[in-house]
């Protein structure tokens, strides 16, 4: 079985930041492997170690600067990586679900995996929709918000979907399928030093849209980001000031007033 | 005129609250241009659901009597066919776990753009203006989509519709292609049982990512002991396996309403807040004065939990 894992380098924002136009000013931005994708990578690597998967390939849409992040997945055990980048993507503010679906679907078609694992969502734009959209686009089956996957497959995957309120849905999904992976499904490993060294030698293919047969117009987002602002705080919080001893004292007094620990 | 098709949500014989909220969201959007609000009720006891959903502002309810429980292939097919029949401008779905299991597929099948997890929606009939968060709630954005679109709505952002409506309730004869159904739901399981029921606690000492390491958890447990309180947590602590699932507060965990909820090192993601906003008194201990938890906290200490928590424990020893 071949598994394709979608991996995204997400933007992280410091606690204090400023907005410029429709984005966060660069100096307040960091970058990290998307948390949900880390679990998807781990699940794929575990399937490979269990002898279920023969090959694990990662795919990313991103510029050269994100290669360090992609190599984390290779260091954890993925076999090779594909990175999609194109001049036409340089000036795109926000890739919407439709654009990501066009690009990733082309890669899935080329790689022809049995199973595609994505994170439930990306920590920055949090659409939570691309995995299911890709599945429908390609005629794959799918399952959203999977927090357990049985590691013995026939022609179907047995999964649990994490519903609201502590309820799980037990579902059989025919292959090929796209599963969106929820945090907590496993314990993502840290890359070993050996893994990190090996990752430097693993294949990382860079492809442009034309290489995938995707027309540049596919990245013209239908969703246009027109404004970004800090939400108005509705807070009427009473904040205690002072040293830790002083503020703890204030809180202790409140708790005693409420009859706690008496 | 802007007609709306809103899809309702139910599970194991019960309509979920968001089904009444989506009526309000759909009605508001339809009002802006004088359009009609159509509801779709798919699978389960559809007639009983339709009666309950017949609240003020609903113009028509379309029932699809097929199967008991949610199946995303049935939903995708039924909604696409309803769209072809009714030609609404917008399709609204809940941003629930199940909503995210069919709404993107509906958008793809109908070749419509999708915007998810919206907290406000406006339209002039041509352009949809959707408000949503990015970066875990640090910012809000407005987003514009031209023409017809699919949007999912966040739960508890719109009030539930009330009153009694005079909607036309009609069975919709969806042509469900069984060969296209690729997944089977075999059952449900309640998780997070066990020895401790955090929903029964009067005082919860709740710990989040700010605790940094499992080895630091005794700090929290000592405080809880000193206060005769119960320890609960946000999602990352359970994901890391540091506490069992029955301690998790939030959308996918438990909904709690204690007298006092002390949130320690919890930023207050919307999924967490959904599980604890009903607490009588909320206290937040966090280094970030702008953390979303501050929006619902009654009292706050903006300081390092590793300084404040031991000092607080000492007060009660």
ipTM comes to 0.94
Count helices and strands in chain B by DSSP H and E runs: 9, 17
* Residues of chain B found within 8 Å of residue A98, distances taken between Cβ atoms: 107, 113-114
Q: What is the pLDDT of residue B192?
A: 67
Nearest chain B residue to A22 by CA: give it.
B141
CA atoms within 13 A on the CB side of A222: 22
Q: Is the pLDDT of residue B257 over 90?
A: yes
Contact residues on chain B for A99, CB-CB shorter than 8 A? none
**Tokens linked to A200:** 């430097």
Do residue B182 and residue A248 have CB atoms under 8 angstroms apart?
no
Place of tokens 């503010």: A93
For the domain made up of B4-180, the CATH class stated in words is alpha beta
Contact B183 A245 (CB under 8 A): no
What pLDDT score was predicted for residue B163? 95
Residues of chain A contacting residue B228, judged by C-beta atoms under 8 Å apart: 260-261
Query: What are the tokens at A73?
Result: 């997945």
The DSSP code sequence of B116-152 is EEEEEEEESSSEEEEEEEEGGGTEEEEEEEESSEEEE
> Quick check: B304 and A244 CB within 8 A?
yes
Query: Percentage of chain A with pLDDT > 90?
Result: 89
Q: What is the sign of the dihedral through the CA atoms of B222, B225, B229 and B233?
A: positive
Domains B4-180 and B198-315 share a fold: yes
Is A184 within 8 Å of B235 when comparing Cβ atoms?
Answer: yes
B137 token code pair:
């709630």
Nearest chain B residue to A187 by CA distance is B240
Q: Which of A36, A165, A253 to substitute to test the interface with B, most B CBs within 10 Å?
A: A165
Neighbour count for residue B243 (Cβ, 10 Å) = 19
* Higher-scoring residue by pLDDT: B284, A260: B284
* Chain A residues inside the 8 Å CB shell of B311: 244-245, 247-249
Domains located in chain A, CATH noted: 2-219 (3.40.50.620)
pLDDT in tens, B186-244: 999 988 667 789 999 999 999 999 999 999 999 999 999 999 999 999 999 999 999 99
Angstroms from A210 CA to nearest CA on chain B: 22
Cβ–Cβ pairs < 8 A, chains A and B = 257
Give B23's contacts (C-beta < 8 A, 6+ positions apart): B6, B37, B39, B53, B55, B57, B58, B160, B161
* Spatial distance between the Cα atoms of B153 and B95, rounded to a whole number of angstroms: 5
**pLDDT in the model for residue B193:** 65
Contacts of A34 in chain B (CB under 8 A): none
pLDDT tens-digit series, residues A118-165: 999 999 999 999 999 999 999 999 999 999 999 988 789 999 999 998
- Give residue B102's pLDDT: 98
Q: Which residue of B has its CA nearest to A98?
A: B113
Q: Which two tokens stand for residue A199?
A: 């990752």
CATH 3.40.50.2300 fits B198-315, yes or no: no
Tens-digit pLDDT profile for residues A67-86: 999 999 999 999 999 999 99
pLDDT in tens, B52-89: 999 999 999 999 999 999 999 999 999 999 999 999 99
Calculate how close chain B gets to A106, using CA atoms only, in Å.
Answer: 15
**Under DSSP, is residue A109 helix (H, G, I), strand (E, B) or coil?**
helix
DSSP secondary-structure letter at A237? -
Instruction: Give the closest-approach CA distance of A122 to chain B in angstroms.
Output: 9
pLDDT digits (tens, 9 = 90+) for A180-230: 999 999 999 999 999 999 999 999 999 999 999 999 988 888 999 999 999
Calculate how close chain B gets to A48, using CA atoms only, in Å.
Answer: 22
Nearest-Å Rg of the Cα atoms of chain B is 22
pLDDT value at position B195?
A: 75
**B65 contacts: CB under 8 Å, gap ≥ 6:** B43, B46, B47, B171
Select from B133, B141, B226 the Cβ nearest to the Cβ of A225. Answer: B141
Is the CB of B304 less than 8 angstroms away from the CB of A164? no
| A94 close to A63: Cβ distance less than 8 angstroms | no
Residue A154 contacts B, CB cutoff 8 Å: no
- Give the position of tokens 């994901």: B239
A27 in B contact zone (CB under 8 Å):
no
Q: What is the pLDDT of residue A131?
A: 98
Check: CB of residue A25 under 8 Å from CB of residue A18.
Answer: yes
Confidence at residue A250, expressed as pLDDT on a 0 to 100 scale: 96
A8-40 pLDDT, tens digit per residue, is 999 999 988 999 999 999 999 999 999 999 999
Contact between A120 and A181 (Cβ < 8 Å): yes
What's the rounded Cα separation, in Å, for the pair A37 and A35? 5
* Separation between Cα atoms, residue A228 and residue B86, nearest integer Å: 34
Mean model confidence pLDDT for chain B:
95
List the domain boundaries for chain B: 4-180, 198-315
């Amino acid at each position: 079985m071949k598994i394709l894992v979608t991996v995204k380098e997400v933007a992280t924002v410091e606690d204090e930041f400023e907005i410029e136009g429709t984005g966060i000013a660069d100096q307040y931005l960091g970058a990290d492997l998307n948390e949900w994708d880390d679990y998807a990578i781990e699940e794929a690597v575990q399937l490979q170690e269990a002898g279920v998967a023969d090959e694990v390939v990662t795919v990313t849409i991103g510029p050269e600067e994100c290669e360090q992040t992609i190599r984390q997945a290779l260091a954890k055990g993925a076999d090779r990586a594909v990175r999609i980048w194109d001049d036409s993507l340089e000036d795109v503010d926000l890739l919407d679900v439709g654009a990501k679906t066009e690009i990733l679907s082309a890669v899935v078609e080329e790689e022809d995996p049995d199973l595609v694992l994505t994170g439930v969502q990306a920590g920055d734009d949090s659409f939570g929709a691309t995995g299911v959209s890709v599945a429908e686009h390609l005629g794959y089956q799918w399952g959203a918000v999977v927090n357990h996957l049985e590691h013995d497959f026939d022609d179907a995957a047995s999964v649990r979907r994490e519903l609201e309120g502590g309820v799980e849905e037990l579902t059989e999904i025919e292959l090929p399928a796209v599963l969106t992976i929820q945090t907590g499904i496993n314990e993502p490993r840290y890359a070993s030093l050996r893994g990190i060294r090996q990752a430097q030698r693993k294949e990382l293919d860079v492809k442009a849209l034309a290489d995938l047969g995707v027309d540049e117009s596919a990245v013209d987002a239908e969703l246009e980001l027109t404004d970004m602002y800090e939400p108005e705080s509705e807070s009427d919080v009473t904040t205690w000031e002072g040293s830790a001893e002083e503020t703890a004292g204030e809180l202790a007094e409140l708790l005693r007033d409420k009859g706690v620990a008496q | 005129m802007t007609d709306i098709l809103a899809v309702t949500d139910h599970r194991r014989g019960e309509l979920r609250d968001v089904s009444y909220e989506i009526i309000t969201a759909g009605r508001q959007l339809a009002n802006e241009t004088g359009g009609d609000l159509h509801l779709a009720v798919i699978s389960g006891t559809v007639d009983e659901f339709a009666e309950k959903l017949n609240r003020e502002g609903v113009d028509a309810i379309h029932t699809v009597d097929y199967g008991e429980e949610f199946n995303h292939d049935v939903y995708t097919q039924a909604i696409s066919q309803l769209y072809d029949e009714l030609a609404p401008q917008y399709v609204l779905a809940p941003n629930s776990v199940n909503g995210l299991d069919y709404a993107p597929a509906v958008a793809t099948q109908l070749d419509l753009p999708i915007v998810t997890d919206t907290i406000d929606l406006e339209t002039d009939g041509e352009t949809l203006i959707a408000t949503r968060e990015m970066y875990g709630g640090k910012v809000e954005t407005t987003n514009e989509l031209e023409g017809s679109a699919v949007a999912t709505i966040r739960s508890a952002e719109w009030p539930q519709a009330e009153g009694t409506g005079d909607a036309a309730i009609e069975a919709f004869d969806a042509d469900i292609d069984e060969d296209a159904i690729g997944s089977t739901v075999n059952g449900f399981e309640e998780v997070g049982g066990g020895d401790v029921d955090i929903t029964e606690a009067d005082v919860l000492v709740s710990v989040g990512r700010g605790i940094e390491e499992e080895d630091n958890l005794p700090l929290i447990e000592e405080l809880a002991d000193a206060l005769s309180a119960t320890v609960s947590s946000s999602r990352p602590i359970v994901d890391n396996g540091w506490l069992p699932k029955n301690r998790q507060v939030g959308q996918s965990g438990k909904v709690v309403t204690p007298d006092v909820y002390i949130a320690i090192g919890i930023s207050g993601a919307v999924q967490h807040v959904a599980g604890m906003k009903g607490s009588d008194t909320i206290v937040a201990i966090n280094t970030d004065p702008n953390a979303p938890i501050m929006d619902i906290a009654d009292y706050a200490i903006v300081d390092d939990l590793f300084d404040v928590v031991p000092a607080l424990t000492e007060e009660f020893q």
